Amino acid sequence: MTILIQYTLIFAAILILVALGGCYSEHSGVINIGLEGIMVMGAFGGALVMQALDPGIPGILMIFVVMLVAIVFGMIYSLLLAVAAIHFRADQTLVGTAMNMLGTAASTVAVRAINSADDPNNVSSALSYGAQKAAFTKMIGSYELNLFIPITVVILIIANVVLYKTKFGLRLMACGEHPQAADSVGINVFVMRYAGVLISGALGGLGGIVYITTGVSEWKFEYGVAGFGFLALAVMIFGQWKPTRIALAALLFGLFRALSNVYIAFDVLTNLNIPGYMYNMMPYVVSLIVLAFTSKTSRAPKAEGIPYDKGLR
């Protein structure tokens, strides 16, 4: 049972981080389909620095450095979307798709180059960080707490407060609802949209490194992040673009994801004879059904996906 809770919480934490990223980007008016690619890039940066760090350094320092690097990688990568979507009015779905392809391809090429530069016989696309990863968890009795869970809770609270209680958050949301109106009262729509996309880059990158350090001690970058970015997108929609609901949705989806990993350990579940792929598929099916019922009254930001054109004011 503990293992199920453990997995559910950590998967939920990752989904919360990435979905909050998507939520900020969409509230500013930019659709971010490229979250998957951003996660890969954050994971790549984080894993790179983890591999290089000495496992003996204090845990708090390790967490701080790894988080920082993953966030910076995610933010830099998200600039690709920001520049194309905000300045060049590119099709945001197209750019996002390109970023997903690019994230996996670029990190694979880079990791392989780094590996074979160290050792000419090493042509794998994996980075390993088994010893360094120990800093991320703390034993509380028999329960192994992943420190990113409390970190995520803090981020969730901050994200909620910033979005609804600060000038910045309200202005950001205005740019996703009616950018022309926002502009007319002196809000710089371009700056706000940059902020939205960069925040999604930061949170997506962080989610990426947490994802690949969960359960395993090395990661093959050929696999990307196996659709987790898309799952986060589903969480965001299921959560109707609201941080608190996103957290609840993430817990539900995290549970499904955890079940697909550990259902064999439960006699009750194995007796039900539900094949493993069903647990993997369930989050997508559930969100599709929910979408069918909620889309007509959807709370999606009204101007998302539409490039801002001052001439239309």
With binding defined as CB under 8 A, does residue 216 bind another protein? Answer: no
**Interface map 223-242 toward another protein (x if CB under 8 A):** xx-xx--xx-xx--x-----
Nearby residues of 207 by Cβ (< 8 Å), 6 or more positions away: 14, 15, 17, 18, 21, 39, 42, 228, 232
With binding defined as CB under 8 A, does residue 88 bind another protein? Answer: yes
| Nearest residue to 50 (alpha-carbon basis) of 133, 148, 126, 137 | 133
With binding defined as CB under 8 A, does residue 109 bind another protein? Answer: yes
Which residue, 149 or 300, has its beta carbon nearer to another protein? 300
Q: CB atoms < 10 A from the CB of 267, how many?
A: 8
In the bound complex, what is the minimum distance in angstroms from residue 140's beta carbon to another protein? 32
Which residue, 66 or 86, has its beta carbon nearer to another protein? 86
In the bound complex, what is the minimum distance in angstroms from residue 275's beta carbon to another protein? 6
Nearby residues of 198 by Cβ (< 8 Å), 6 or more positions away: 75, 78, 79, 82
Where does this chain touch another protein (CB under 8 A) — which range of 13-21, 167-175, 247-255, 288-296? Answer: 288-296
Tokens 């579940």, located at residue: 269
With binding defined as CB under 8 A, does residue 104 bind another protein? Answer: yes
Q: Which long-range contacts (CB under 8 A, 24 or more apart) does 131-136 make?
A: 131/55, 132/50, 132/51, 132/53, 132/55, 132/62, 132/66, 133/50, 133/213, 133/217, 134/55, 134/59, 135/55, 135/59, 135/60, 135/62, 135/63, 136/59, 136/62, 136/63, 136/213
Which residue, 113 or 158, has its beta carbon nearer to another protein? 113
**Interface map 114-143 toward another protein (x if CB under 8 A):** --x---x--x-x------------------
In the bound complex, what is the minimum distance in angstroms from residue 80's beta carbon to another protein? 7
Question: How many residues at the interface with another protein, by CB under 8 A?
Answer: 54
CA distances to 27, 28, 169 from 196, in Å:
7, 5, 10
The residues of the shown chain that bind another protein, judged by CB under 8 A, are 31, 33, 80, 84, 88-91, 93-95, 97-102, 104-106, 108-109, 112-113, 116, 120, 123, 125, 222-224, 226-227, 230-231, 233-234, 237, 275, 277-278, 280-281, 284-285, 287-288, 291-293, 295-296, 298, 300
